[in-house]
Chain A
Amino acid sequence: MIRPVGCIGLFAFFVSCGQGTAPARTGPAGETGARSVVVYSSADKEFAELIFRAYEQKTGIKVLPLYDTEETKTAGLTARLVAEKAKPRADVFWSSDTSRAVALVEQGIAAAYSSPEAAAIPSRYKSADGLWTGFAARIRVVLYNTDLVKPADAPRSVLEFTEARWKGRFALANPHFGTTSFHAAALFVKWGDARATRFLDALRNNGAVLAAGNADVKDRVADGRVAAGILDEDDAVVALRDKKPVALVVPDQDGKDALGTPLMPNAAILVQGAPHPEEGRRFIDFLVSAESEKILAASDAAQYPLHPGVAGPALLPPLEGIRVLDVDYAEVARKLPAMDAAVKAVFGR
């Protein structure tokens, strides 16, 4: 029977390995054996890991991340946090979409924590009572394929995508998710529900291609499946650095009454009832620090630091020169349900 016993031992090893890395067990007093912090992150894994690795090296505290997929960006994790409200599993939520984070605050998911590391971040990018803290912002841009579109013909405004010359030739991510939902909800705030819904309807009638996510928009533009797309600047930078035949335009900058483009800080939230609150606070200190913003600006994430004096991403125009779509983040968050309903009515999903 040696062989079966050996096999059972090996089998038990595999079964125990198969569970993956479980969060560190927390004792009654909230103490852990190996210290760890559970971070739900809607930031792209590729970029979030830069921060997690730097934090682990600096503090020795293990980061246990949970990501959402490109197709269900941010909304997937926010729904999960709400579902886990009675028995939270996460310590920190790193949201790549400000509006979803602010919406969570209004549902009582966030605990107050004003990080000293965020003192220099302008007050409009964080909550006064410490329920969310913005850092490292992104803007929405238009990416176009230079083999298909001459620079002179490139769209200068998202409104141009309702014109006949772009019919069926442009893509955007599903507006239910991620930063596209922020962009759509910001337009609802700026224009009102009726005009914003008409705009979405015009996009649909003009053959808008709904992609799986911003990265998918980038891929479609880069390989010529569509001529142009609306996406985040970090996705656009990946295509530029990969030397794809693309160029980017910061939209809605021309003219005195230009709409401006949305500026979307990441947001850090300490989860109410977090299993490891102390580790959560320490992680937020690092996440919103100038050091973290510097890493995100210098990498392919190409995000704009909100700390004064930290250099911005090299491939993008300086933030000071960009006209930003001026909206209140709390208002955008409150508009999400109305925008979601309009998107479902217009796009049927």
Chain B
Amino acid sequence: MTRQSRLSGLAALPMVVLLGAAALPVVFLLSRLAVGEMAVDGASLAATAAFALGGAAVATATGAAAGITAGVLALPAGRWLIGAACVLIAAPPAFWWLGATHVPGIPWNLLSGLAGGAVVAGLALSPVPLLLVLAALRELPSNLYEAARVGLRPWQRVCFVLLPLLRAPLAAGFLLVAILLLGESEIPFLFGFRTAMTDVVTLFAQTYDVTRTIPLVVPLLLAVLVLAVLAGRPLLRTILATSRGTHGVVRRPTSVMSAIPATVPAAIAAISLSGYAAASFAGGLPEWRATPAIFWASIAEAVGCAWIALLLVVVAAYPLRAAPGAKVALWIALLVFCVPAAIFGIGWIGISHALGGFQVPPLAAHVSRAIALPLLGFAIAYARLPRSLEDAARLVAVSPLQRALWLVLPLVAPSLVAASALVAALAFADRDVASLLLPAGGSRLMLDLYLLSANAPSRVVGAAAFTALGGAALSVALAAAGPLFLWRPRG
């Protein structure tokens, strides 16, 4: 073995350890299938597929329409609209549905069953394709679209120019939403239909036995991993793309009517929040129940999770940044991230039982699942750095550590900030891991909200929803502040 290959191996070691630890619950679950003699149960896969694919179609259509509108037209308050749409990501679809049901006078009973659930979940997840479409539009060569403006009508430009060019983000958005919906149990429970995920949750609740749950977990896990493999390539092509044109699509002023598609996701958030607001004042003033301990524990967990994930990824990914193995690591992390949180929780419980019943902290489960996001953030930002910049920096007499802290990390910081914020938002919004792994006496705002929504008066539920949203906003801000504070670019 040459010195060079030994050094490469050493550089890859932190990443191998990190990915190995992150994938542990998934490997554990799959290994249980291998050691047992269990018939795989795929009875509800058809309904699951209909829900996931139907919801993904709704999300992609809504998100693409909003993204294209916001991407090619200069909308009044366009950034605010996109920002408001992104609020939907800060909480699971059931949160938005529960809020909307408090809006008086709307016949929500028309939305029922599998179709209703797919529409609601799809609308709530529409920011995923929206953001991917927007990102892709920024990288399109501006001359191409400008040329199309000359000879084609708007709908022709969308159908014959934009949609073909946006195939990768649309495919990635569709598949990502489908993956998220495969792991969704709350909406199927609320809309009264059964999916593979509700089967997993139900059986695990009845038995608390990981081995007995495996026949239900494995088909779901395999379906998710297959979709993740399919989503990986278009996703990476979209977000790792380097600009082929100069400025992306040039936005042109438009009429208010043309802007309507871009307002849909933001309107959904607004409707739901107005429902919670109405609930808060139903029969009196809002009644705040969250204790400071739960409020701060929820925030601390989300922020701690984001920072730990970020630090681990930076330590593991930096030595590998220019190596071919970096892309392999990214793929593995993405596959792990696509595994539903509840299955991750069940996997950790299985590991805990196998090792004598120690208590796995929810934070460990969140971090292990979420490392893909900072890894992706790092990869996106590093791919955009000119290689010559780092080569030039090598000529300066500073240590590699100083070069990392003073040059590279400040330059990739914006992307790490976004990743950190997203990890915090996802950890904060979780209910599955919290309900599976929290010790007695522990609680989280989002879990509390679901427990309260069963029987608490509306004004308590409304207040709890706003407390949770406030906590989410604070978590995201603090999570983003960490890398910004450490690695802000120096003038």
Binds A, one of B49-57, B229-237, B391-399, B443-451: B443-451
Which residue from chain A places its CB closest to the CB of B44 in the assembled complex? Answer: A349
Secondary structure at the B interface, as helix, strand, loop or mixed, is helix
Please tell me if the beta carbons of A71 and B440 are within 8 angstroms of each other in the complex: no
Chain B residues closer than 8 Å to A291, beta-carbon distance: none
What is the CB-to-nearest-CB distance from B163 to chain A, in angstroms, rounded to a whole number? 37
Most chain B CB inside 10 Å of its own CB: which residue of A69, A72, A215: A69
* Cβ contact of B206, chosen from A45, A79, A215, A225, cutoff 8 A: A79
> In this assembly, does B430 line the interface, its C-beta being within 8 Å of a C-beta of chain A?
no
**Contact code string B188-210 (vs A, CB < 8 Å = 1, else 0):** 01101010001101100111110
Which residue from chain A places its CB closest to the CB of B291 in the assembled complex? Answer: A21
> In this assembly, does A234 line the interface, its C-beta being within 8 Å of a C-beta of chain B?
yes
Chain B residues closer than 8 Å to A75, beta-carbon distance: 205-206
> In this assembly, does A223 line the interface, its C-beta being within 8 Å of a C-beta of chain B?
yes
**Contact code string B255-267 (vs A, CB < 8 Å = 1, else 0):** 0000000000000
What is the CB-to-nearest-CB distance from A302 to chain B, in angstroms, rounded to a whole number? 10
The docked-state distance in angstroms from the alpha carbon of A349 to that of B48 is 14
Please tell me if the beta carbons of B441 and A64 are within 8 angstroms of each other in the complex: yes
> In this assembly, does A89 line the interface, its C-beta being within 8 Å of a C-beta of chain B?
yes
What is the CB-to-nearest-CB distance from A248 to chain B, in angstroms, rounded to a whole number? 15
* Cβ contact of B460, chosen from A11, A46, A216, cutoff 8 A: A46
* Cβ contact of B455, chosen from A38, A46, A223, cutoff 8 A: A46
Please tell me if the beta carbons of B442 and A21 are within 8 angstroms of each other in the complex: yes
Please tell me if the beta carbons of A45 and B485 are within 8 angstroms of each other in the complex: no
Which residue from chain A places its CB closest to the CB of B458 in the assembled complex? Answer: A242
**Contact code string A29-43 (vs B, CB < 8 Å = 1, else 0):** 000000010111000
CB contacts under 8 Å to B, within A186-203, are: none
Chain A residues closer than 8 Å to B452, beta-carbon distance: 45-46
Which residue from chain A places its CB closest to the CB of B456 in the assembled complex? Answer: A46
> In this assembly, does A102 line the interface, its C-beta being within 8 Å of a C-beta of chain B?
no
> In this assembly, does A83 line the interface, its C-beta being within 8 Å of a C-beta of chain B?
yes
Please tell me if the beta carbons of A212 and B190 are within 8 angstroms of each other in the complex: yes
> In this assembly, does B457 line the interface, its C-beta being within 8 Å of a C-beta of chain A?
yes
Please tell me if the beta carbons of B454 and A213 are within 8 angstroms of each other in the complex: yes
Which residue from chain A places its CB closest to the CB of B305 in the assembled complex? Answer: A18
The docked-state distance in angstroms from the alpha carbon of A219 to that of B283 is 17
Chain A residues closer than 8 Å to B443, beta-carbon distance: 20
> In this assembly, does B112 line the interface, its C-beta being within 8 Å of a C-beta of chain A?
yes
> In this assembly, does B435 line the interface, its C-beta being within 8 Å of a C-beta of chain A?
yes
Please tell me if the beta carbons of B208 and A83 are within 8 angstroms of each other in the complex: yes
Please tell me if the beta carbons of B190 and A90 are within 8 angstroms of each other in the complex: no
Please tell me if the beta carbons of A65 and B441 are within 8 angstroms of each other in the complex: yes
Secondary structure at the A interface, as helix, strand, loop or mixed, is mixed
Please tell me if the beta carbons of B202 and A21 are within 8 angstroms of each other in the complex: no
Chain B residues closer than 8 Å to A238, beta-carbon distance: 455, 457
The docked-state distance in angstroms from the alpha carbon of A225 to that of B444 is 30
The docked-state distance in angstroms from the alpha carbon of A340 to that of B363 is 35
What is the CB-to-nearest-CB distance from A237 to chain B, in angstroms, rounded to a whole number? 9
Chain B residues closer than 8 Å to A176, beta-carbon distance: 202, 206
What is the CB-to-nearest-CB distance from B395 to chain A, in angstroms, rounded to a whole number? 25
Please tell me if the beta carbons of B455 and A22 are within 8 angstroms of each other in the complex: no
> In this assembly, does B276 line the interface, its C-beta being within 8 Å of a C-beta of chain A?
no
The docked-state distance in angstroms from the alpha carbon of A70 to that of B201 is 12
Q: Can you name 15 A-B pairs with beta carbons within 8 Å?
A: A15-B300, A15-B363, A18-B304, A18-B305, A22-B439, A22-B442, A46-B454, A66-B440, A71-B201, A171-B192, A177-B205, A211-B192, A219-B101, A348-B194, A349-B199
Q: Which residues of A contact B (CB under 8 A)?
A: 3-4, 7, 11, 13-15, 17-23, 36, 38-40, 44-47, 62-72, 75-76, 79-80, 82-84, 86-87, 89-90, 171, 174, 176-177, 209-213, 215-216, 219, 223-225, 234-235, 238, 241-243, 300, 340, 348-349
A-B residue pairs, 5 tightest by C-beta: A64-B441, A20-B442, A72-B205, A17-B300, A18-B301
